[in-house]
């Protein structure tokens, strides 16, 4: 390989690495944040909140804080589904929530009321 070809190859490789290093700056990400409330409208502490793409891919989870708040930061833009789990019950799925670039989308997940259990004992 001639010196000129080697120089051209090195310049090309450096340019490609420069483009690859710059690529993450163009990735569009946003944040999905919200609160989990019980049936009476009170925050649910330590609820598990699950997020996945609207295609059912890439599930991930976090927990709510003492104020029932949660946050999924730096997610790729697109549509996602959310569900909360707490006290042996699940919230309904929130479907097709859109995460937009450089923005925070806020949602509220509501837990269903607890079912009253009646036990009849006979002898």
> For a pLDDT cut of 90, what percent of the chain falls above it?
68
pLDDT tier at 10, thresholds 50, 70, 90? very low
- Domains, the chain, in order of start with CATH, read 28-110 (2.60.40.10)
Between 30 and 16, whose confidence is greater? 30
**How much is the pLDDT for 114?**
82
Residue 20 confidence (pLDDT) above 60: no
What is the 3 state secondary structure string of the chain? CCHHHHHHHHHHHHHHHHHHHHHHHHCCEEEEEEEEECCCCCECCCCEEEEEECCCCCCEEEECCCCCEEEEEEEECEEEEEEEEECCEECCCEEEEEECCCCEEEEEEECCCCCCCCCCCCC
Q: For residue range 39-62, list pLDDT tens digits in order.
A: 999 999 999 999 999 999 999 999
């Amino acid at each position: 390989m001639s010196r000129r070809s080697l120089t051209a190859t090195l310049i090309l490789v450096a340019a490609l690495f420069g483009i690859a290093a710059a690529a993450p700056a163009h990735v569009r990400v946003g944040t999905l944040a919200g609160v989990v409330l019980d049936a009476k409208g009170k925050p649910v502490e330590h609820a598990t909140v699950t997020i996945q793409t609207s295609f059912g891919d890439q599930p991930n989870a976090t927990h709510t804080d003492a104020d029932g708040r949660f946050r999924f930061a730096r997610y790729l833009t697109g549509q996602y589904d959310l569900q909360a789990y707490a006290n042996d019950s699940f919230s309904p799925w929130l479907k097709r929530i859109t995460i937009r670039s450089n923005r925070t989308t806020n949602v509220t997940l509501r837990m269903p009321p607890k079912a009253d259990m009646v036990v009849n004992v006979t002898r």
